[in-house]
């Protein structure tokens, strides 16, 4: 196409599979999906897989929200992207948000609040040190499953994941209204 030919936006739009583009709340829904699955799963192996998937989705929620907050707004006059300062401030209550100086398009997070720190600790151990260790302290499964966090510490898995999901919901609601 040359500059003299008319540009047909309808043709361009017809070539895009709009259903393939995730909605803004996709990570929130992903977290909810895995929480629902783990909260009713009595089989330890399957439960561990669901918890692992939930932890990765929760971590990804923070990373995605931080990236989105840093580049939420677009200035049509100069093409520049600029941050949603309110969204960044909300996130910074719970995670440290760092924008790479040499590659400003790269934004990363690190746990800051109690729940977020625990999420990052457990998720990093799961990703970098092997599978989660899930113990059982009773017969009421999955409620009695615990995530081993150190040699002498564990956290109630369903309760921890529920608190994490609540935090994610609260943050999402605050940022997105």
**Of the candidates 84, 53, 90, 107, which has an alpha carbon nearest to the alpha carbon of residue 167?**
90
In contact, 109 and 97? CB cutoff 8 Å:
yes
CA–CA gap between residue 46 and residue 57 (Å, rounded):
16
Residue 8 sits at φ, ψ, to 5 deg, of: -100, 105
Tell me the two tokens of residue 2. Answer: 């040359």
Query: Does residue 112 form part of some domain?
Result: yes
How far from chain centre, in Å, is Cα 43? 25
Query: Does residue 109 form part of some domain?
Result: yes
Query: Does residue 14 form part of some domain?
Result: no
Tell me the two tokens of residue 139. Answer: 């017969």
Query: Does residue 151 form part of some domain?
Result: yes
Please tell me the predicted confidence (pLDDT) of residue 24: 73
DSSP count for the chain of H helices, then E strands: 6, 7
Query: Does residue 37 form part of some domain?
Result: yes
- Tell me what the pLDDT averaged over the chain comes to: 90
Query: Does residue 15 form part of some domain?
Result: no
Query: Does residue 103 form part of some domain?
Result: yes
For residue 11, what are the CA distances in angstroms to 8, 14, 21?
Answer: 6, 5, 18
- Judge whether residue 169 has pLDDT over 60: yes
- Judge whether residue 1 has pLDDT over 50: no
Reported as a single tens digit per residue, the pLDDT across 59-113 is 999 999 999 888 888 788 887 888 889 999 999 999 999 988 898 888 999 999 9
- Per the structure, the count of domains in the chain is 1
| Residue 81, H or E segment | strand 81-82
Query: Does residue 4 form part of some domain?
Result: no
What three-state secondary structure class fits 115? helix
Reported as a single tens digit per residue, the pLDDT across 39-50 is 999 999 999 999
Please tell me the predicted confidence (pLDDT) of residue 18: 66
Domain containing 58: what range?
24-176
């Amino acid at each position: 196409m040359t500059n003299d030919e008319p540009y047909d936006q309808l043709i361009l739009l017809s070539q895009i599979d709009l259903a393939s583009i995730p909605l803004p709340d996709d990570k929130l829904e992903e977290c909810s999906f895995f929480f629902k699955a783990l909260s009713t799963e009595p089989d330890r192996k399957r439960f561990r897989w669901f918890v692992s998937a939930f932890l990765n989705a929760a971590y990804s929620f923070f990373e995605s929200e931080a990236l989105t907050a840093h580049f939420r707004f677009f200035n049509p006059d100069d093409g520049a992207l600029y941050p949603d300062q309110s969204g960044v401030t909300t996130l910074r209550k719970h995670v440290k948000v760092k924008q790479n100086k040499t590659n400003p398009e790269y934004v990363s997070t690190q746990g800051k609040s109690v729940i977020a720190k625990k999420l990052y600790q457990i998720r990093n151990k799961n990703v970098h040190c092997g599978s989660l260790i899930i113990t059982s302290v009773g017969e009421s499964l999955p409620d009695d499953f615990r995530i081993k966090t150190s040699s002498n510490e564990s956290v109630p898995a369903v309760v921890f994941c529920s608190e994490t999901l609540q935090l994610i919901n609260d943050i999402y609601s605050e940022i997105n209204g």
